[in-house]
């Protein structure tokens, strides 16, 4: 029968979103504004006639217009039974069915009628599964999400992390300015809720002992890497504040949790972040570190020995570089001259000790061990770069009792061992990132965690002038790829390597017109 109403002539997407369409052809301006491909308009005949037959009407209502340009091919399966999500133009997550078998409590979640089109759901419904997919090999996060209720701080952190990850990955640059501002406001709200929830929990007597609070702060620190907020020169930047928060909680918790497997599992990710902050800031590791190491060394769990020995090494490196930079801040040539021999010997002894242990206990190339070795190599680059700066500093001090020839020989040693370690870091990236390191097309959320763990070693190579120019260029290329292809923006926002140094520490006497 003739249509007696006024059916909307808006495009399919504007009608679905219930917003006003400008009816522009071939694509409406609203779709263009929000970076979506306009799906087009209804048939003119459909606008003029409406079939009054109930059966036909029901069938017509079931027909949902498809949005052209949306990739419906499944990628890596997540714990939800769907592939990696994409953002639909209205801000929801779009999932396509996975062909993998996903079991929840022994039930095959995919043993249902196959889906013939993408499923649109609000993104908060799947933020936790996305986090669990990203950290699928990380028991610390998996166990905590299974243990705590749905209204705790970890849930707000999951919303924040997942929304940021998917936005960065799917719309790195094409998203419009208005849509970007709207997303930023939404993320700000979830960040505020996560922080408020953490503060509320920490105000209770047992707050610092709650694993979900520790995990939330750790996840927030990883979120800051997604948005690229790590800056060495801003010690009050969000990433640094989260790292300090992790240390505060570890300090309050003390050694008691370290006697349990669950406590160890939550300790290492948090402490690793704390140590990286010490390396970045040229400060010593927490004074409680040795006490924590002693407890762990009494009864190391399987697979824990390498991480323990590397953490001990990093603590020694941080101690050496903290003393070196204290000389620089005070321009203390006399003190640096007196302690140089001992500091250089400490670096060499710590390196040889760990190398001997690793030779007697060869790694089996497990992914975690590759990462730990890469972290160890970054500490070598950072530590021996500090020693090299100290040598430069002393060449400008005539009363220094160490002969200039010996200082320059020590400097060559520092450069050699740092560049060897830098090369080891670069060679580990393909093994860590897999196909992505070879610039493949597969993008699994599981790769994000591995990419985040490569950030600091790569940044260390990129910003340390002790590395060869081609090594720094290779590190830059890897970082750029991680930032663009995986949505980890810290790869694009590496902090400046220009330290606040006395002029004498930059070049040795007589080199490039040195003093």
In whole angstroms, how far apart are CA 79 and each of 74, 110, 129? 14, 11, 6
pLDDT of residue 297: 95
Over residues 4-56, the pLDDT tens digits come to: 456 677 888 888 877 888 887 777 877 776 667 788 877 544 443 344 444 54
Residues linked to residue 94 through DSSP beta bridges, in sequence order: 86, 120
Considering the entire predicted model, what is its pTM?
0.75
Closest to 83 in 3D by CA, of 398, 91, 93: 93
Residues 178, 286: Cα–Cα separation, whole Å:
44
CB 279 within 8 Å of CB 378: yes
pLDDT of residue 54: 47
Over residues 364-397, the pLDDT tens digits come to: 767 778 889 999 999 999 999 999 999 999 999 9
Counting Cβ atoms within 10 Å, is residue 455 exposed (0-12), middle (13-18) or buried (19+)? buried
Angle, helices 153-170 vs 177-202, to 10°: value is: 160
Residue whose structure tokens are 């091919």: 73
Residues 318, 66: Cα–Cα separation, whole Å:
57
Q: Which two tokens stand for residue 290?
A: 């040795």
In which residue ranges of the chain is pLDDT below 50? Answer: 1-4, 44-54, 56-85, 87-120, 173-176, 437-441, 513-515
CB 113 within 8 Å of CB 82: no
Residues 494, 462: Cα–Cα separation, whole Å:
9
pLDDT of residue 149: 57
Cβ neighbour number for residue 285 with a 10 Å cutoff = 25
pLDDT of residue 327: 97
What is the 3-class SS of 346-415, one letter each residue? HHHHHHHHHHHHHHHCCCCCCHHHHHHHHHHHHHHHHHHHHHHHHHHHHCCCCCCCCCHHHHHHHHHHHH
Residues 101, 407: Cα–Cα separation, whole Å:
63
Residue whose structure tokens are 């039930």: 107
Angle, helices 211-227 vs 261-281, to 10°: value is: 40
Over residues 87-103, the pLDDT tens digits come to: 444 444 444 444 444 44
Residue ranges covered by each domain of the chain:
12-43, 124-300, 302-514
Residues 171, 224: Cα–Cα separation, whole Å:
18
The helix/strand/coil state of 87 is: strand
Cβ neighbour number for residue 17 with a 10 Å cutoff = 19
Residues linked to residue 103 through DSSP beta bridges, in sequence order: 108
Class of domain 12-43: few secondary structures
Residues 364, 463: Cα–Cα separation, whole Å:
30
């Amino acid at each position: 029968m003739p249509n007696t109403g006024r059916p909307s002539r808006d495009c399919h997407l504007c009608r679905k979103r219930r917003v006003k369409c400008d009816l522009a052809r071939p694509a409406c301006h609203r779709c263009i504004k929000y970076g979506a491909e306009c799906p087009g308009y209804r048939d003119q005949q459909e606008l003029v006639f409406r079939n009054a037959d109930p059966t036909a009407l029901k069938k017509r209502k079931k027909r949902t217009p498809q949005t052209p340009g949306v990739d419906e091919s499944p990628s890596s399966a997540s714990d939800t039974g769907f592939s990696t999500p994409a953002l639909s133009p209205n801000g929801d997550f779009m999932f396509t069915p996975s062909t993998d078998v996903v079991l929840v409590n022994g039930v095959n979640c995919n043993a249902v009628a196959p889906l013939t089109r993408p499923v649109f759901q609000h993104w908060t419904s799947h933020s936790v599964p996305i986090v669990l997919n990203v950290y699928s090999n990380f028991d610390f996060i998996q166990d905590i999400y299974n243990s705590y209720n749905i209204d705790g701080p970890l849930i707000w952190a999951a919303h924040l992390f997942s929304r940021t990850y998917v936005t960065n990955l799917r719309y790195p640059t094409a998203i419009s300015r208005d849509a970007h501002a709207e997303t930023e406001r939404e993320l700000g709200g979830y960040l505020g809720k996560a922080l408020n929830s953490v503060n509320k929990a920490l105000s209770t007597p047992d707050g610092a002992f709650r694993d979900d609070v520790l995990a939330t702060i750790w996840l927030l620190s990883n979120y800051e890497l997604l948005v690229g907020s790590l800056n060495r020169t801003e010690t009050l930047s969000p990433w640094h504040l989260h790292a300090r928060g992790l240390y505060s909680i570890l300090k309050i918790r003390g050694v008691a949790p370290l006697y349990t497997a669950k406590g160890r599992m939550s300790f290492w990710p948090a402490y690793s972040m704390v140590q990286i902050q010490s390396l970045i800031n040229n400060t010593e590791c927490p004074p409680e570190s040795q006490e924590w190491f002693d407890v762990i060394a009494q009864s190391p769990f399987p697979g824990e020995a390498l991480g323990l020995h590397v953490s001990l090494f990093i603590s020694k490196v941080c101690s050496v570089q903290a003393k070196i930079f204290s000389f620089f801040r005070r321009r203390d040539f006399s003190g640096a001259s007196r302690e140089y021999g001992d500091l250089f010997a400490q670096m060499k002894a710590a390196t040889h000790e760990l190398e001997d242990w690793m030779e007697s206990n060869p790694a089996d190339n497990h992914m975690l061990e590759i990462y730990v070795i890469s972290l160890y190599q970054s500490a070598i680059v950072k530590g021996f770069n500090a020693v090299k700066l100290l040598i430069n500093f002393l060449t400008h001090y005539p009363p220094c009792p160490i002969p200039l020839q010996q200082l320059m020989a020590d400097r060559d040693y520092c450069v050699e061992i740092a560049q060897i370690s830098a090369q080891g870091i670069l060679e580990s990236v393909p093994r860590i990132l897999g196909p992505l390191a070879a610039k493949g097309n597969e993008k699994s959320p599981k790769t994000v965690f591995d990419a985040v763990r490569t950030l600091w070693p790569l940044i260390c190579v990129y910003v340390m002038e002790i590395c060869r120019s081609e090594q720094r260029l290779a590190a830059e290329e890897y970082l750029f790829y991680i930032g663009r292809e995986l949505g980890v923006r810290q790869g694009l926002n590496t902090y400046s390597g220009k330290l606040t140094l006395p002029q004498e520490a930059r070049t040795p006497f007589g080199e490039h017109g040195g003093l």
